[in-house]
Structure 1
Amino acid sequence: MKLDSGRIKGSNDGTVRTYSGIRYAQPPVGELRWKEPERVAPWRGVADATKPGRPCLQEEGGKVTGGEDCLFLDVTTPAKPSRKRLPVMVWLHGGGFLDGSGSMYNARRMAGQGDVVVVTPNYRLGAFGYLALPGLPGSGTFGLADQLEALKWVQRNAAAFGGDPGNVTLIGQSAGGISTCALLTSPAARGLIDKAVMQSGTCTLNWPAGTYIPVPDMPPFTPFPSLKTSRDIGLAAAKQLGCAAGKELACLRAKPVAELMKVNGGFGNNLAHGTPLLPLDPAQALRTGAFLRVPVISGAAKSEGNGFVAGAAQAGIPVTTENYPTLMKNAFGEQAGKVLREYPLTRFSSPGQAWATVSSDRAWACPTLEAGEAMAARTTVYAYEFADANAPNLFGTPSDFPPGAQHASDLPYLFDLDGERWDGLTPEQWRLAEHMIGYWTSFAHAGKPQAAGAPAWRAFTPSGQTVLSLKPASQGGIGPVDLSDEHRCAFWSGLDG
């Protein structure tokens, strides 16, 4: 296989061809730390592309993993060459902008069943991807710049894998979905994206205090701070590490990774706007129509908040009868009484379930619906909700807190995570997975999601807000859902208004 930068050798298992650990940009180390990515330099000989590249720096179980030299991607294609150019799907992983990697998501089912080329890049995370400082070009958007560099790499190299550089679908989940939406608002993305899929992440997401994680000191936030706010975060981190005022950049560039990781957690959800790559707040850009008019699939899981609330309980921060009113007051101030009446504890099986529902409705579902409405006014949108109540319990939610269709529980339906199929899926869940892959990949082919044996998926319009609920046959099967009614969006709209 010959790329624009050199030759590579991958593997073929008879179903798909896989090329792993392909370097798509120069290592962002030394003087390239906190600089926009540079085009990969050519190499001699044949590079091994049978093993994943190193993930970007992150913490896992309290230990630092990955490294700074991490700008690699994997490519998965059908094993049998096609006579025609195939659509390319570029997957941006989630992880709160703090963890994850492209190689975690084995795309063999998506590529093989859907007859598409799937590209899964890494991008810089945490402080290494989103640091901002006064006078530092690229502040707050280095991770986004990496994603753009991966898209440029696709333009140059898609044809080598049998892909069509003129038919690229950008797809992401959580932080990857947020990044996908942000890129639709970036002038730098013009000509690089032909369609987009956003899963549990869009431009309008925002979390009132405590609705992301139910802790008293969790402030309200959006994933898109202003450049000034991002610079303030960067200056505070530099001060914490002992850097003198006015010499922060040189000081931080000289710091070893172990020192920088001490402040890394402060850079989650810190993608700055008011920058060359994101001139506008992406939420404002979506509402005013300043985004790429490409076809879109957009949606979320039905019970997004469940996993976050259950995880906090496991960490010793449960929602209780006693602190439920306090959480309401912190999140909604003078309007807390109205929300308490709309979400009384008597209506739920536990205080944790009540707060998780508040989070799912206010912080996830209704902002996602708002984004769909804004985009549908100007382009073609297909809206969905992943609603399998028995979806895989990826994070080990306790049995006394039903996980439901929580955040990220849709991922095993599309990918083999860390290379493994999820053993717990039932035959009807595997059927749902086939339908979802069918919808996603047919959309990549021709801009209209359809799957053999599955219901038709009508476009979402401002006047006909069709949202497709994705669930197994035993739970009613795939069909329309009134998302606004299900998540009390009229109540939240009136409250916020």
Structure 2
Amino acid sequence: MPIRTALRARARWLSSILLSAVAGAAAAMAPVAHAAPDPNSQPVVSVTGGEIRGVRAAGVVRYLGVPFAQAGRFAPPRPAPPWPGVRPAVAHGPQCPQSSPVPGVALQPSSEDCLSIDLYVPEHPASPTLPVMVWLYGGAFVLGSNAQYDSPARLVRDGQVIVAVPNYRVGPFGFLALPELAAENGGATGTYGTLDQQAALRWIRDNAAAFGGDPGNVTLFGESAGGMSVCTQLASPSARGLYTKAIVQSGSCARSPLTPPTTQVAYQRSADYATGLGCADPATRSACLRVLPVDRLLDSPTTKLNTMAVTWTPVRDGIVVTDTPENALSGGAVRGIPLIVGSNADEGATFLALLDYARGTVPTVTEYTHWARELFGDNAGRLLQRYPASAYPTAAAAKERVLTDGFFACPAQFTAEAARRGGAHVWRYQFNDAPLPPNPVLPGAFHGAEVPYVFSALMGLPIPLSSAADRLSKNIQDSWARFAHTGDPETPAFTPWSNAGADTTLELGTDHVGPAGTFAAQHHCDLWAGIDHIG
């Protein structure tokens, strides 16, 4: 395949990972509809709410768009209403409301009634009870849907696991926090998306056995904001007992802009948002916001990925989330629980593509210095001393290293350290593979690059990996599946992989897989250890 053709093909599935203008390649594409099979030959399962009919394909049985809860605006989820007869479960449900990454183009149908779950089950299970892996999608807490991750077929079929992917609310629909909403909901506020995830986990607990799953063997895994969602569940007292293991991919539990803020910070962010929509009076603003149409609620720069400083995240409301994930891990919230924590070698490349190149700008030394001072404040001097533009080929390269090290690599290090202090068993990795041919826009192991090594297709499109990359993909899937079965990710391809040693990571690439002990030095984590909050 010529390089130009390969790049075009890869750009299509990358649209489900990248969160803004890079997703333009998907603008002309809607999620692929699955052909309707003969309903009489398809499996029927009884779950909470009624019976559902799935569909067999590629050695996997899919049950798509199954309601697990019902959403009310700015309120915790409620039980989903039952349905009569047998409900076809052969198409994804609508995504939760969100701004399109491609202005003016809806990539898939959207509705506030969006709390559905997709399940992928081996057609020929090797055991009567299989582990369940629950994927929480990324998207900076403003984007994402389960339809984007619509084929974990090889992971499911060969790994003999069940994969479940729930939708959850994002943006203000998931994380608006106001004191009057807290008063309505027993103190819970700014955590509706987090509660959606917990409702899905409870649904899985109650229904896993119907699919041949083990409700006592549930692995949470997710990437980016999905990784932080995993972290938030680890920190939430109301999620205890709903999972047994966790994998955090490029979404650390420590010192991230996505870390749950205090209610004071969240209240101010939400009040500013409400004021911007003409709902400024505290006495009426929740009612004012509730009657606005969805498009008006999304008519705010806060609902788009415009900066590394974000507005919408889960909130430390004292009810659903009672502490930061870093403190919770350090305090023993996941004592004895197996964790995999990892990051990619060139995470920052994605954000240069989204926040600079997609807007037609290339960072200069002046711009880089201004960006660092604006984002890091009193810490900017130390940062610029460690990452001077003069030490890199370009100012863009310096900015990419800051983004990689400060927002992902060292937070992953701090996550692992906190979890170990709290008694968790932690395996660490660094993903080093470049899924794209050499190019100036998305080089190396950029943020999101490992996702197509876990899934077989994204947004209904097969993933065009080279034969060497496909072998690495298969090995990652085998490791993730073994972890789900046993709590240990070490496989013949990934050995030795120790869960001892604060700085030991398993480097994952097509040309090399093996342990390394230089991660902290490589990413200047001594500097970042002195910066309490990044972004």
Whether TM-score is above 0.5 comes out as yes
Q: How does 1:354-369 map to 2 (within 5 A)?
A: 354-369=398-413
Match of 1:227 among 251, 256, 263: 263
Q: Which amino acid aligns with 1:307?
A: T
Q: Residue 496 of structure 1: CA displacement?
A: 6.7
Select which of 111, 122, 137 maps to 1:78: 122
Task: Calculate the TM-score normalised by the size of structure 2.
Answer: 0.83
| Paired position in structure 2 for 1:316 | 360
Equivalent position of 1:470 in the other structure: 508
Q: CA deviation at 1:291?
A: 4.3
CA drift at 1:280: 1.4
The 1:402–1:130 alpha-carbon spacing in structure 2 relative to 1, beyond 3 Å, is closer
Between 1:330-339 and 1:113-122, the stretch displaced more is 330-339
Contact 1:10 / 1:19 at 8 angstroms: preserved in 2? yes
Q: 1:282–1:482: structure 2 CA closer, same or farther, 3 Å change rule?
A: same
Offset from partner CA, 1:195-244 (integer Å, 9 cap, x none): 001001122132xxxxxxxxxxxxxx443121122222222222222223
With over 3 angstroms needed to count, the CA separation of the structure-2 counterparts of 1:338 and 1:280, relative to structure 1, is closer
**CA deviation after TM superposition for structure 1 residue 298, in Å:** 0.6
1: CA distance, partners of 2:61 / 2:249: 26
SS in 1 for 2:414: helix
Q: 1:250 to 1:292 in 2, by over 3 A?
A: farther
Q: Which deviates further from its counterpart, 346-355 or 309-318?
A: 309-318
- 1:259 equivalent among 283, 296, 304: 296
Q: Which residue number corresponds to residue 232 of structure 2?
A: 182
- In structure 2, what is the equivalent of residue 36 of structure 1? 76
After superposition, the Cα gap between the structure-2 partners of 1:69 and 1:350, relative to the gap in structure 1 and judged at 3 Å, is same
User: In structure 2, what is the equivalent of residue 113 of structure 1?
Assistant: 158
Secondary structure at 1:297 match in 2? strand
The SS at the match of 1:323 is: helix
How many Å apart are 1:481 and its aligned residue? 4.6
Cα distance in 1, alignment partners of residues 255 and 462 from structure 2: 30
1:488 shift after superposition: 1.6
1:486 is aligned to 522
| Cα offsets for 1:53-93 (capped at 9, x unmatched) | 11111122123651111001100011113333000000000
Deviations 1:396-442 (CA, angstroms, capped at 9, x unpaired): xx93345211110111101111122211x111100100110011110
Q: CA deviation at 1:335?
A: 5.0
Structural mapping, 1:72-471, within 5 Å? 72-105=116-149, 106-136=151-181, 137=185, 138-206=188-256, 221-243=257-279, 244-263=281-300, 265-266=302-303, 268-291=311-334, 293-314=336-357, 315-333=359-377, 336-377=380-421, 378-388=423-433, 390-392=434-436, 399-401=439-441, 403-415=443-455, 416-423=457-464, 425-462=465-502, 465-471=503-509
Distance 1:102 1:478, change over 3 A: farther
Distance change in 2, residues 1:328/1:190 (3 Å) = closer
What's the counterpart of residue 62 of structure 1?
103
Task: Quote the residue 1:216 is aligned against.
Answer: none
Q: Please say if residues 86 and 117 of structure 1, whose CA atoms lie closer than 8 Å, have aligned partners that are also in contact.
A: yes
**Is 1:24 paired with 2:24?**
no
Which AA in structure 1 matches 2:276? Q
Corresponding residue SS for 1:381? strand
- The DSSP-based 3-state class of the residue aligned with 2:126 is coil
Give the partner amino acid of 1:356: E
SS at match of 1:322: helix
In structure 2, relative to structure 1, the CA distance for the partners of 1:478 and 1:18 (3 Å cut) is farther
Q: 1:237 to 1:9 in 2, by over 3 A?
A: same
| Residue 235 to residue 337, structure 1, CA distance change in 2 (3 Å) | closer
Residue 302 of structure 1 deviates from its aligned partner by: 1.1
CA pair 202-336 structure 1, distance change in 2 beyond 3 A: closer
8 Å CA contact 2:330–2:420 kept in 1: the answer is no
* Partner Cα separation in structure 2 for residue 495 and residue 227 of structure 1: 22
Q: 1:283, CA displacement in angstroms?
A: 2.8
Equivalents in 2 of 1:72, 1:454: separation in Å? 35
Q: CA RMSD in A?
A: 2.1
User: Within 2, Cα distance between the matches of 1:264 and 1:293?
Assistant: 42
Distance 1:385 1:453, change over 3 A: closer
- Matched position secondary structure for 1:59: coil
User: How far does residue 34 in structure 1 lie from its aligned partner after superposition?
Assistant: 1.5
C-alpha displacement of 1:306: 1.2
Gaps of 5+ in 1: 207-220
Q: Are the equivalent residues in 2 in contact too, given 1:472–1:478 (CA < 8 A)?
A: no
Please list every run of 5 or more consecutive structure 2 residues that lacks an aligned counterpart in the other structure.
Answer: 1-44, 304-309
Task: Tell me which amino acid in the other structure corresponds to 1:241.
Answer: L
Which whole-Å CA distance do the structure 2 matches of 1:432 and 1:446 have between them?
Answer: 21
Which deviates more from structure 2 when the two are superposed, residues 249-258 or residues 323-332? 323-332
Stretch of structure 1 that moved more, 105-114 or 478-487? 478-487
Tell me, in whole angstroms, the C-alpha distance in 2 between the residues paired with 1:264 and 1:4: 38
Alpha carbons 2:269, 2:311 under 8 Å: kept: no
Q: CA deviation at 1:334?
A: 5.3
Question: Structure 1's 252 and 401: CA in aligned 2 closer, same or farther, altered over 3 A?
Answer: closer
Rounded to whole Å, the distance in 2 between the matches of 1:47 and 1:382 is 41
Tell me how far apart the structure 2 counterparts of residues 493 and 237 of structure 1 sit (CA, whole Å).
Answer: 32
